[in-house]
A and B are shown apart, each in its own frame.
Chain A
Amino acid sequence: MTAPSSIAAQASNVVPITDAAKAVRDTRPLRLITCGSVDDGKSTLIGRLLWDTKAVKEDQAAALSRDSGKQNDLGLPDFALLLDGLQAEREQGITIDVAYRYFATDRRSFIVADTPGHEQYTRNMATGASTADLAVLLVDARSGLLEQTRRHATIASLMGIKQFVLAVNKFDLVAYDKAVFERIAHDFKELALSLGVRQVTAIPMSALKGENVVYEGRATMPWYDGPTLVETLELATTRTAAAGGFRLPVQRVSRPGESFRGYQGTVAGGSIKPGDSVAILPSGMVANVKQIVTFDLVRNAAVAGDAITLVLDRQVDVSRGDMIVSLDAQPMTGLAFDAQLVALQPGGIEPGKRYWLKAGTRRQRVQVSPLSQLELASGKWKSHSDTLPMNAIGKVRLSFDETAIFDAYEQNRNTGAFILIDPDTLNTVAGGMISAKRSDLGGIHRDGQRVLLSLPADLADELMASEAFAARRDEADVRRVSAARAAELLGEID
């Protein structure tokens, strides 16, 4: 936890999501994850969202009341029954697995990854958070932040979620006391800042009564002039990997006839237009883009997220698992990387075992060496080199037989993420995020001199765009940091 004095200084940096997004409204579906336990009223909140946005139809509601005969004190159906889809869940009254919910307002549609709050929450949360743009963290107004809130927030931020909403629920049970809200909201903003999350909105609400969820709660909370939950979600931003270099992990090669050869895939970062120079990794061969083909038309540009077919201007050897990238902003390539991962299966992640790693469209063998494990209660990393047990979050070193291609997850979630597959069970056993290329200054350049430069980012980009640089990109280590951090690092050398 950050010291109180620096919080005061940082608190002004907290940007409410609604302000940050006011400029341009994003109409792509927002993916969010809800975190909280049954006791916090999570089922009621999601049920309320679906109910008040009319995502629940009459016959589904009828089935609910028929199955349960139960109603809550407002005459609404028991929302938990609507949500627990599997027979075992209904029988045992628990939520087993990540479920996906859909609702929409006039302005936007939403995909909610609804994860169980208790059993194996790390694994399920990591799954739900992997695709989420925003996390809704739920607390009971009577108890405020719990250790569990910190755990959920930590996992969400590790998985790259940059927008938090704190739902201070059951606010009717604290007599709509403004002071209670302000205290919890303040604690939460401190927590978020300590995790590096700056877009935070706290909302007092009663999911049961429908106050500040979809409809406002002015009648009971005249002092609250912030957005409702749905208003906040409508204005949140979706993740784009539009900044940074062009990335196209090749899914398949399309050869419908002798004269057409196209490389099909989903743009995983940056943008591309005909005439742009690209490199094919790992071979390093260079070509220019001739055409961007889609079913609807030949396009003059494609951006991150687009599923396209790329035609190059010359015959080059490209196959599934290769990555087509912009020549002047290439990803890292190498045989050793540092990463963080979440162990998802009972066997854990064993040191030295050869797993399959899938990243983008590339599948290759990897050995994993655990370095440390995150203690969720304290947020501290503890040295750990044995098997990482199920639900553990670990820092690891990845060693490959063949060249691997990654961006740091911080820079690009698409090209920085991977899963591990157990070669014995073929099950998915870990989800991971690349932190950096392992800088081993071994090999042929071990005895040479190296120069550390700290440059303005635009100048560095220009330098790296040069042919001389691109040709020896493999030999360079590049990190993007803030100016302050750079000064600090160089200071260490002096």
Chain B
Amino acid sequence: MHSHSSEFDPHRNDPAVKPPLDPHLKALENEAIHIFREVAAEFENPVMLYSIGKDSSVLLHLARKAFFPGRVPFPLLHIDTGWKFPEMIAFRDEMAEKFDLDLVVYTNPRGDSEKISPFTHGSAYHTDVMKTEALRQALDAGKYDAAFGGARRDEEASRAKERIYSFRTPDHKWDPRNQRPELWNLYNGMIRRGESVRAFPLSNWTEVDIWRYIQAENIPLPPLYYAKTRKFVERDGMLMWAEDPRFEPLPGEQVQEGMLRFRTLGCWPLTGGIRSTAATLDEVIAELEIATVSERQGRAIDRDQAGSMEKKKREGYF
């Protein structure tokens, strides 16, 4: 039994307690809800990619709003590489429980059988097998014809040209030169069997919008976003979290301890922290508004070469 019933308290969220959203965030919220409902209505078997980060948290919040008073009518899919921060996994399970979600967790079996590690195999191979290939396997296994993702167009240059409904071939390929035109809010959801669509309700949000919305809506986030004393090493210009049993310092590396937080979440060996004392949401936002470095800077995945995101996306990465 689900905890939702057809009855709901009309005063459950007293406007006196929670001020209305500013018109800018309201417009973005309305657009995202529209996209959620449209995909849910037009596709047979949608799924929502849930990566546990702040964008996923906003995405989940919007999905709950879109289908209220019903429950979220599709499963959430988490691709677990085995190298996520334990705090992420704990938070994921807590959300699934709290919001009565269908959570599907998928790990590429090659990870175990081949003992794939970002340290021994390199970040590119690890990401290719444990994220991109795993995602393709999970989408095929679930026979999903639409997958929601939290990607934003302001994140990276190749994403700026991504459609809100992004068409994928049966082998999950994205052809950036041959995308369907997208006019007004009229999305074309017609596909053949085996083909699929990635849908991006947050396309028009920026990083600042995400944080302001989290603040306005009081959306829970994994504690990794907030500064606390953590153990880390400085490796290749990146502050790497050093508390996992699998972490091994390189010769000459000193494990340090200090106030650290993360701007994006992913596999801990590939996700650089930043020195920060921002331990609350307000402090994080204040810090962000004077930040001069983009959020993806902490991510090893983007630093290989210009066009690396486009290449990964063509191969099926989100």
Name A residues whose Cβ lies closer than 8 Å to a Cβ of B.
Answer: 26-29, 54-55, 57-60, 63, 67, 82-88, 90, 96-102, 104, 108-109, 111, 123, 126-127, 130-131, 251-252, 254-260, 262, 264-266, 293-298, 305-307, 309, 320, 344, 356, 358-361, 413-414, 417-419, 421, 426-428, 431
Known contacts A100-B160, A100-B203, A361-B41: A86-B177 contact under CB 8 Å: yes
A296→B65 CA distance, assembly (Å): 8
In the complex, per-residue mask of B175-194: 1 if CB is within 8 Å of any chain A CB, else 0: 01101111111101011100
* List of A residues within 8 angstroms of B142 by Cβ: none
Closest residue of chain A to B217 (Cβ to Cβ) is: A296
Whether A358 contacts B188 by the Cβ 8 Å rule is: yes
Whether B159 contacts A305 by the Cβ 8 Å rule is: no
Further pairs besides A58-B292, A264-B67, A431-B181: 19, Cβ < 8 Å: A28-B24, A29-B27, A57-B292, A85-B156, A86-B310, A87-B307, A100-B204, A130-B184, A252-B37, A252-B41, A254-B70, A293-B69, A296-B13, A296-B65, A307-B30, A307-B66, A418-B186, A428-B182, A431-B186
B7 contacts the other chain (CB 8 A): yes
B157 contacts the other chain (CB 8 A): yes
B23 contacts the other chain (CB 8 A): yes
B208 contacts the other chain (CB 8 A): yes
Whether B183 contacts A427 by the Cβ 8 Å rule is: no
B297 contacts the other chain (CB 8 A): yes
* List of B residues within 8 angstroms of A264 by Cβ: 37, 66-67
| Cβ-neighbour of A256 out of B38, B71, B209, B294 (below 8 A) | B71
* List of A residues within 8 angstroms of B181 by Cβ: 123, 126-127, 344, 428, 431
A251→B66 CA distance, assembly (Å): 11
Whether A88 contacts B177 by the Cβ 8 Å rule is: yes
B76-110 residues with Cβ-Cβ distance < 8 A to A are none
**Which of A83, A256, A309, A417 has most B Cβ within 10 Å?**
A256
Known contacts A102-B154, A306-B30: A63-B66 contact under CB 8 Å: no
Whole-angstrom distance from the CB of A480 to the nearest CB of chain B?
22
Whether B15 contacts A297 by the Cβ 8 Å rule is: yes
* List of A residues within 8 angstroms of B11 by Cβ: 297
6 A–B pairs (Cβ distance < 8 Å), ordered by A: A55-B154, A85-B160, A86-B307, A87-B310, A102-B204, A127-B183
Whether A86 contacts B158 by the Cβ 8 Å rule is: yes
* List of B residues within 8 angstroms of A266 by Cβ: 30, 33-34, 185
Whether A85 contacts B159 by the Cβ 8 Å rule is: yes
B141 contacts the other chain (CB 8 A): no
* List of B residues within 8 angstroms of A104 by Cβ: 206, 208
Closest residue of chain B to A342 (Cβ to Cβ) is: B183
| Cβ-neighbour of B22 out of A27, A99, A258 (below 8 A) | A27
**Which of A126, A307, A417 has most B Cβ within 10 Å?**
A307
Whether A419 contacts B10 by the Cβ 8 Å rule is: no
* List of A residues within 8 angstroms of B192 by Cβ: 426
**Which of B71, B159, B292 has most A Cβ within 10 Å?**
B292
Whole-angstrom distance from the CB of B168 to the nearest CB of chain A?
13
Whether B24 contacts A29 by the Cβ 8 Å rule is: yes
Known contacts A58-B292, A60-B294, A296-B15: A86-B176 contact under CB 8 Å: yes
Known contacts A85-B159, A256-B4: A417-B24 contact under CB 8 Å: no
B126-180 residues with Cβ-Cβ distance < 8 A to A are 153-154, 156-161, 176-177, 179-180
Whole-angstrom distance from the CB of B106 to the nearest CB of chain A?
28
Whether B306 contacts A90 by the Cβ 8 Å rule is: yes
| Cβ-neighbour of A86 out of B29, B34, B161, B209 (below 8 A) | B161
Closest residue of chain A to B314 (Cβ to Cβ) is: A87
DSSP majority for the A interface? mixed
| Cβ-neighbour of B69 out of A97, A258, A260 (below 8 A) | A260
Whole-angstrom distance from the CB of A407 to the nearest CB of chain B?
13
A266→B31 CA distance, assembly (Å): 9
Whether B184 contacts A431 by the Cβ 8 Å rule is: yes
* List of A residues within 8 angstroms of B156 by Cβ: 85
* List of A residues within 8 angstroms of B307 by Cβ: 86-87, 90
* List of B residues within 8 angstroms of A360 by Cβ: 186
A295→B184 CA distance, assembly (Å): 26
A305→B307 CA distance, assembly (Å): 36
Whole-angstrom distance from the CB of A284 to the nearest CB of chain B?
23
In the complex, per-residue mask of B287-314: 1 if CB is within 8 Å of any chain A CB, else 0: 0000111101100000000110011000
* List of A residues within 8 angstroms of B113 by Cβ: none
Whether A307 contacts B70 by the Cβ 8 Å rule is: no
Whether A28 contacts B27 by the Cβ 8 Å rule is: yes
Closest residue of chain A to B192 (Cβ to Cβ) is: A426
A97→B38 CA distance, assembly (Å): 25
B28 contacts the other chain (CB 8 A): yes
| Cβ-neighbour of A307 out of B33, B40, B182 (below 8 A) | B33
Whether A305 contacts B30 by the Cβ 8 Å rule is: yes
A156→B5 CA distance, assembly (Å): 49
* List of A residues within 8 angstroms of B177 by Cβ: 86, 88, 96-97
A99→B7 CA distance, assembly (Å): 44
A358→B189 CA distance, assembly (Å): 10
| Cβ-neighbour of B184 out of A123, A298, A414, A426 (below 8 A) | A414
Closest residue of chain B to A262 (Cβ to Cβ) is: B69
Whether A100 contacts B153 by the Cβ 8 Å rule is: yes
**Which of A27, A97, A361, A413 has most B Cβ within 10 Å?**
A97
Closest residue of chain B to A345 (Cβ to Cβ) is: B181
Known contacts A58-B292, A100-B160: A258-B6 contact under CB 8 Å: yes
Closest residue of chain A to B28 (Cβ to Cβ) is: A29
